[in-house]
Structure 1
Amino acid sequence: MSKLNIVLFEPEIPANTGNIGRTCVATGTRLHLIEPLGFRLNEKSVKRAGMDYWEHLDVTRYINYEDFLAKNPGAKIYMASTKAPRCYTEVQYEPDCFIMFGKESAGIPEEILLENQETAVRIPMMSEIRSLNLGNSVAIVLYEALRQNQFSQMQLEGHLTKYDWK
């Protein structure tokens, strides 16, 4: 079964990673964390943001970017960055692709972006704004990738608890 993959390059804020972890559980997406992390994964703030979903998260840690590449050879990796030349809606996301986001303070290093310029994407925003919150950015791009893949294996219809829809 194919799964989308979210990659966080050296995340710094535990609450963002916790929220992203919860989003990954809710969407059946794998989470990949490239060290160094700006926090310990056992911190209360990570678990609080991920709530009781964290134990269900499919998460892999890597000691650095080179370790990530070595353990995922041939992976299609989209680089989400405010510096990217193309909008995130202008690409076709494969069912098992990786979407990488950089650390909160600096994003993905420019040398990595240059090596991957064909797959670098951005979320449009006003020029006066440096960036969106990392958790929001992940959700925006991830849900576009899920939409393009027909929300594969996701529940598409909600149900009321006390009533039936007419």
Structure 2
Amino acid sequence: MTLVSTPLRVALFEPRIPPNTGNIARTCAAFGLPLALIEPLGFSIDDRHLRRAGLDYWPHVDLSVHHDFDHFLNCLPTPFRLIGCSRRGGQSLQTTRFLQGDVLLFGREDIGLPDSIRQQCDQILTIPMPCSAADDGQGGVRSLNLSVACAIVSHHAGLQLQLW
């Protein structure tokens, strides 16, 4: 299966929490962005919490499911850039220049993007959080909710690419 070329797409690497995935699907439906889920998932695609979080928007989501990361990469139309989204070690969202064909890759809720996946990204970006926790996790907010982070990055990228 080769995915159709689009100006921007969202991909979730091994998502674990059905409501997060459902909310991200709703965001993708609202912005007209394809959503790729990379297995293994932490839930069944038929999970009632997943359906409930996405409300009745699932028919409006261009959804693809991939059995592993390599399968996902092999299905992407070229050219593409893989933009890993992480709470640590990335270029600031505000200074990131998006290109047509970019894939916004978000990691698992519990561990984020593993180093082996980060190394395959063309770029890593981070949403600046002025009240973020220190590296030891103390003194502030450790991270944004996955669905919130996805909405922020997707909207910012879409505005920059003049998709809306």
Which TM-score band (shorter chain)?
A: 0.7 to 0.9
Does the Cα contact within 8 Å between 2:79 and 2:101 map onto a contact in 1? no
Structure 1 unaligned residues grouped into runs of 5+: 155-166
Bigger Rg over Cα: 1
From the superposition, tell whether residues 2 and 67 of structure 1 become closer, same or farther in structure 2 (CA, over 3 Å): closer
Deviation string, structure 1 residues 70-129 (Cα, Å, up to 9, x no partner): 11154211000012231112111123210000000000101221343x510001121232
Which consecutive segments of 4 or more residues in structure 1 shift more than 4 A? none
State the one-letter code of the partner of 1:122: T
Does the Cα contact within 8 Å between 1:3 and 1:30 map onto a contact in 2? no
Counting only pairs closer than 5 Å after superposition, residues 2-151 of structure 1 correspond to structure 2 as: 2-72=6-76, 74-116=79-121, 118-125=122-129, 126-127=132-133, 128-150=140-162
SS in 2 for 1:52: coil
The range that moved more, 72-81 or 39-48, is: 72-81
Give me the identity figure in percent: 37
1: distance between equivalents of 2:154 and 2:47?
25
The alpha-carbon deviation at position 149 of structure 1 amounts to 1.5
1: distance between equivalents of 2:43 and 2:9?
21
Residues matched between the structures, number = 151
Does the Cα contact within 8 Å between 1:3 and 1:28 map onto a contact in 2? no
Output the TM-score relative to the length of structure 2: 0.86
Does the Cα contact within 8 Å between 2:38 and 2:66 map onto a contact in 1? yes
The alpha-carbon deviation at position 18 of structure 1 amounts to 0.4
Output the TM-score relative to the length of structure 1: 0.85
The range that moved more, 81-90 or 55-64, is: 81-90
2: distance between equivalents of 1:55 and 1:29?
13
Alpha-carbon RMSD: 1.5
